[in-house]
Amino acid sequence: MNVMLARLSDAWAWLESHALVGPSAQNPPGGWHRVTAAGAEVVNDPNAVAKVWAADRLAGDLHPALSSARSNFALGDYETASFAAMKAVEVEVRRVAGLPNELLAVNLMRKAFSPKDGALRDPEAEGGEQQATADLFAGAIGAYKNPASHRAVQFDDPVEAGEVIQLADLLLRIVQRAEGRLQP
């Protein structure tokens, strides 16, 4: 019996921590609870639990350049959120590398991280690792920014959108490290 009560208590705490249930305004503290608007959405939308899990992935600190992506994600506009995240990477790479506005997307990433002479390459890294970093940036931009730049994209998976934003956060951290290497 104690095990069952402990599990029920854990489940209730999870519901409260995700704002799916909350205190009733009509009862004193510690009294009855109610299903919140978010809780009602979970009841009525079979995909709503995925939204809760995806939002958990973005609960921590993110690079400040991702504020637009986070806002669009919160609004449920996953295509725009993913695009905004990768656009932030593109803008930051261009700024830190000092490259012109005419250089775009995959070509920008290849130039900025070129193992031969890229401004953002890590000169301490082995050549294959430098190429892999260039490929990582080019692939992320090519897969998640370019399609939305050129056509309507059906992007309705909140978990994938959250992971794209997390990927953008990781890429922005790599750019920050590169910027630190460029500082005198």
The domain 64-182 having CATH identifier 3.40.1840: the answer here is no
The closest of 124, 69, 60 to 92, measured between CA atoms, is 69
The 10s digit of each residue's pLDDT in 35-47 is: 878 788 777 887 7
pLDDT confidence of residue 116 = 95
Residues 101 and 166: their CA atoms lie apart, in Å, by 25
The closest of 86, 96, 87 to 118, measured between CA atoms, is 96
Q: What is the pLDDT along the chain (184 residues), one digit of tens a residue?
A: 788 888 888 877 877 877 778 887 776 666 677 887 878 877 788 777 777 777 878 888 999 999 999 999 989 899 999 999 999 999 999 999 999 999 999 999 999 999 999 999 999 999 999 999 999 999 999 999 977 666 666 778 888 999 999 999 999 999 999 999 998 7
Taking the domains of the chain in order of start, what are their residue ranges? 2-44, 64-182
What sign does the CA torsion over 23, 26, 32, 38 have? Answer: negative
pTM, entire model: 0.79
Structure tokens at 12: 């209730």
CB atoms within 10 A of CB 160: 15
pLDDT confidence of residue 150 = 66
pLDDT confidence of residue 28 = 62
